[in-house]
Amino acid sequence: MADLSIEFCGIRSPNPFWLASAPPTNTGDQVMRAFDAGWGGAVWKTLGNPIVNVTSRFGGIDYGNTRLMGLNNIELITDRPLEVNLREMREVKKRYPRHTLIASLMVETREEWREIIQRSEDAGADMLELNFGCPHGMCERGMGSAVGAEPKVLEEIARWAMELAHVPVIVKLTPNVGDILEPGEAALRAGVPALSLINTVKSLMGVDLDRMVPLPRVGDASTNGGYCGPAVKPIALHLLAQLARHPQVGKLAISGIGGISNWRDAAEFIALGASSVQVCAAVMHHGYRIVEDMLEGLSDFLDERGMKSVSELRGRAIPAYREWGELDLSYRVVADIDPDKCIGCQLCYVACMDGAHQCIHLPGRTEEESRRAGHTHIPKHVPERVVTAREGTPGARVPFVDEEECVGCNLCQLVCPVPGCITMEEVPTGKPRESWNDRVAQGRDQVPGGLEATAASRGRSR
């Protein structure tokens, strides 16, 4: 079996699955129950000066039958006394010495940073995570994402922590910036050995149209909060990969956060450069025991791929993440609809007609009927195949693809409700690999059909 233990900044952890700093790590009892369930580490709910929370605090977005596709919160850092938190941290570390315990911190002045770092280390914290990401409440006080969005301020405070700390320091980044490399490089200049990202995305969850108050409602008003859950995973993966492929920043240890709900999500984060992953919303939704499937799934995946450890997976997908201008313009795929699996719902046909490139047709139509439906290109050949669906709606026609017109956009496959019914088949073009950057370098980047003035100006400049 693959070894799921990891080393993060020299600290050993039983596995890469950590709880993120959030309500699931609010108390010692919670963290100990999580460790019993199988979690390898936990980032304690952010410590700082006392705050007062409001109710209600959470808002959710459902999609179809999926509950909490996205979760919004306006809860702040811990509202429990600092000494209570520290006492419980000591007890957790005493009972679970092999598990990774990380203190999340957020204060203002250098002296406050000095005190809270020392007290957290004395309580047994293996590492410190500087919360420069919280996008609500605390940022209005000059902390959280107010720091994460200002590279110079981030660098200064991170330097304080590096001077004061005796354990590894992690800088937690906010996604609410124009370029994630700027705060990442600032953390690098400060000398920190690790990053974590993403913190939550600044958001408004919705509006109570009866009361005309944004959600979650606090009396007669609300405010923006932090968005998390499965819906933010694509954002998190992008920002993680941006940092991981950076020549210098990518050498730091990175803890990936954002919409991780199962082992496959975790494997994707690790393949894009994360050494560990942190989970919050999925635990709030389903509880600590989800880690059991995560551990089993990741272990099986590594075994199937012949990998002996998590470290062998880390960064495997980074070389394939490139800028648009480096992609192969000669590569081509076309859609193929399996008539034996098709249920005749025709969602692919509607999506292609109204949202893509009008290359999916319905059999049995005359050319005139096809043109009235919106087709401007009529296929020369209609494939000999099943006309009506064998499953699903009786008598419904099975669409077919005009391969000459198909641009391989994938939309039909994405909307199809039947697994494996629509596949994207690679079509050899016989052309050598060529990217847009290649065309630019060769002076062939002017595509016919554009502005004549642009073409003329480029001709003169050359």
Note the pLDDT of residue 393: 79
Task: State residue 381's pLDDT score.
Answer: 81
| Rounded-to-integer distance, Cα 242 and Cα 251, Å | 12
- List pLDDT tens digits, range 428-459: 999 999 999 999 999 999 898 888 877 777 77
Contacting residues for 98 by C-beta, under 8 A, at least 6 apart: 12, 14
- The tens digit of pLDDT for each residue in 387-416 reads 888 888 788 999 999 999 999 999 999 999
Cβ neighbors of 451 (< 8 A, separation 6 or more) are none
SS3 label, residue 256: strand
High-pLDDT (> 70) share of the chain, %: 100
| Short-list 48, 41, 166, 155, CA closest to 112 | 48
**How much is the average pLDDT of 13-37?**
98
Tell me the torsion sign for CA atoms 30, 35, 38, 44: positive
Percentage of the chain exceeding pLDDT 90:
88
Model confidence at 57, pLDDT cuts 50, 70, 90, reads very high
Cα–Cα distance measured from residue 349 to residue 415, given in angstroms and rounded to the nearest whole number: 10
Q: What is the pLDDT of residue 143?
A: 84
Write out 302-325 in H/E/C secondary structure: HHHCCCCEHHHCCCCCHHHCCCHH
The pair of three-digit structure tokens given for residue 390, joined into one six-digit string: 């064998």
Lowest-pLDDT choice from 163-177, 278-292, 325-339, 388-402: 388-402
Residue 49 above 70 pLDDT?
A: yes
Q: What is the mean pLDDT of residues 248-259?
A: 98
**pTM of the predicted model, to two decimals?**
0.95
Neighbours of 248 (CB within 10 A): 10
Q: How far apart are CA 161 and CA 171, in angstroms?
A: 10
Q: Exposure string (b/e) for 82-104, b if CB count within 10 Å is 16 or more?
A: beebbebbbbbbeebeebbbbbb
Q: What is the mean pLDDT of residues 37-44?
A: 98
* Cα gap 89→87, rounded to integer Å: 5
Q: Which residues pair with 133 in a beta bridge?
A: none
Q: Which residue has the higher pLDDT, 388 or 97?
A: 97
pLDDT at 141: 87
Mean pLDDT to the nearest integer, 357-371: 93
Whole-angstrom Cα distance, residue 371 to residue 378? 8
Q: How many residues does the chain have?
A: 462
Q: Catalytic positions, please? A: 134
**pLDDT for res 135:** 85
Contacts of 430 (CB under 8 A, 6+ apart): none
Q: What is the pLDDT of residue 140?
A: 82
Phi/psi class of residue 402: alpha, beta or left (left: φ > 0; alpha: ψ in -120 to 50)?
beta
For 334, phi and psi rounded to 5 degrees? -130, 155
pLDDT tens-digit profile of 304-363?
Answer: 999 999 999 999 999 999 999 999 999 999 999 999 999 999 999 999 999 999 999 999
Q: Report which secondary-structure segment, H or E, holds 446.
A: none
Going by C-alpha positions, the residue among 101, 3, 6, 51 that lies closest to residue 309 is 3
Task: Report the candidate in 100, 88, 97, 8 with the shortest Cα–Cα distance to residue 47.
Answer: 88
Q: What integer is the mean pLDDT of 57-74?
A: 94
Tokens representing 216 are: 């979650």
Model confidence at 219: pLDDT above 70: yes
Question: What value does the mean pLDDT of the chain take?
Answer: 95
